[in-house]
């Protein structure tokens, strides 16, 4: 799905990603962990085409990511939900598929209502984001990302703005979404979730991938002092 080669991202003179190599296979559930400022969000934003590489290459489904036309094939979910506050829940969810002419309005609404029913928020379709709890907002943001049938969803700390009870409901939905076989790449500090969810964990430090492997390998047998230290906290 993704093939990343020697990815470098600089902001001004500061090198934030330092020659990242990464392969993501179809259906993988990748969790990216690492200290603040290590470049996790920047990497995710490059994979989501929100940032352009300074050098190196990212292929998505065997094509240069800068040349893909079907941008709806990459979905994103952010810590701060990024819902449109002036639109209702239903409008938020149906906006992208209608605007990109992926489906007509009726089909989009029907699909959105099905999803809302699945996450038990069908009574909120006409509510505005301000009327929802944080957990509800994030679940709406997740089904919004699913509406265009993306091949991959990128999550940047989807639960770190939430209280404990709400964290669980969002993580449960992510596990539900995972069952469909979709590729997921998740930046999170929820290490218990990561242990059970991930097919592969990536530990980033100072703009590099310091270790990667199965959750068992990384959590039970960390190789670097940096990861050992990180896991202690
Ligand atoms: N738009 C930007 N302009 C300048 N510097 C940036 C920009 N975005 C990120 N950085 C810098 O790049 C480095 C990596 O940031 P990034 O947000 O990718 O880290 P992170 O691992 O996601 O951290 P956190 O866990 O705090 O979210 C930081 O030093 C940050 O200050
Ligand atoms: Mg970040």
| Percent of the chain predicted with pLDDT > 90 | 93
pLDDT-derived band of residue 26, with 50, 70 and 90 as boundaries?
very high
Identify the three-state secondary structure at position 130: helix
Query: Averaged over 58-80, what is the pLDDT?
Result: 90
Note the pLDDT of residue 72. 81
Computed over every residue of the chain, the mean pLDDT equals: 95
Ligand 1 centroid distance, CA of 39 (Å): 6
CA distances from 140 to 23, 46, 135 (A): 29, 24, 9
Query: Averaged over 30-38, what is the pLDDT?
Result: 97
Query: Averaged over 181-194, what is the pLDDT?
Result: 96
Instruction: Please count the structural domains in the chain.
Output: 1
Q: How many Å apart are CA 233 and CA 231, to the nearest integer?
A: 5
Note the pLDDT of residue 206. 96
Note the pLDDT of residue 194. 96
Cβ atoms of 134 and 158 closer than 8 Å:
no
Query: Averaged over 116-143, what is the pLDDT?
Result: 95
Atom 27 in ligand 1: residue holding the nearest Cα: 36
Pocket test for ligand 1, best of 15, 39, 154, 209 (most atoms within 8 A of CB): 39
pLDDT at 70 over 80: no
* Alpha helices per DSSP H over 25-163: 40-47, 89-99, 105-118, 134-146
Quick one: which atom of ligand 1 is closest to the CA of 204?
Answer: 21
| CATH number of the CATH domain containing 174 | 3.40.50.300
CB atoms < 10 A from the CB of 200, how many? Answer: 20
Query: Averaged over 70-76, what is the pLDDT?
Result: 86
Q: Which domain holds residue 146?
A: 2-232
pLDDT in tens, 100-126: 889 999 999 999 999 999 999 999 999
pLDDT in tens, 170-180: 999 999 999 99
Cβ atoms of 135 and 59 closer than 8 Å:
no
| Percent of the chain predicted with pLDDT > 70 | 100
Q: How many Å apart are CA 219 and CA 230, to the nearest integer?
A: 10
The whole-model pTM stands at 0.94
Note the pLDDT of residue 202. 98
35's tokens: 């200290």
pLDDT at 75 over 80: yes
Atom 28 in ligand 1: residue holding the nearest Cα: 37
Note the pLDDT of residue 69. 78
């Amino acid at each position: 799905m993704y093939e990343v080669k020697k990815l470098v991202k600089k902001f001004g003179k500061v090198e934030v990603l330092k020659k990242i190599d990464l392969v993501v296979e179809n259906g993988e559930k990748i969790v990216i962990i690492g200290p603040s400022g290590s470049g996790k969000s920047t990497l995710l934003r490059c994979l989501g085409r929100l940032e352009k590489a300074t050098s190196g290459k990212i292929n998505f489904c065997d094509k240069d990511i800068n040349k893909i036309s079907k941008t709806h094939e990459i979905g994103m979910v952010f810590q701060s939900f990024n819902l449109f506050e002036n639109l209702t829940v239903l409008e938020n969810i149906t906006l992208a598929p209608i605007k990109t002419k992926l489906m007509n309005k009726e089909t989009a609404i029907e699909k959105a209502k099905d999803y809302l029913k699945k996450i038990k928020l069908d009574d909120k379709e006409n509510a505005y984001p301000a009327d929802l709890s944080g957990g509800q907002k994030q679940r709406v943001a997740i089904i919004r990302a699913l509406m265009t049938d993306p091949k991959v969803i990128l999550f940047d700390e989807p639960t770190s703005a939430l209280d404990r009870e709400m964290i669980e409901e969002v993580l449960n939905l992510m596990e539900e979404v995972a069952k469909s076989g979709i590729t997921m790449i998740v930046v999170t500090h929820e290490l218990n979730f990561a242990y059970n969810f991930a097919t592969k964990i990536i530990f980033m430090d100072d703009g590099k991938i310091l270790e990667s492997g199965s959750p068992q390998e990384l959590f039970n047998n960390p190789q670097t002092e940096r990861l050992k230290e990180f896991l202690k906290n």
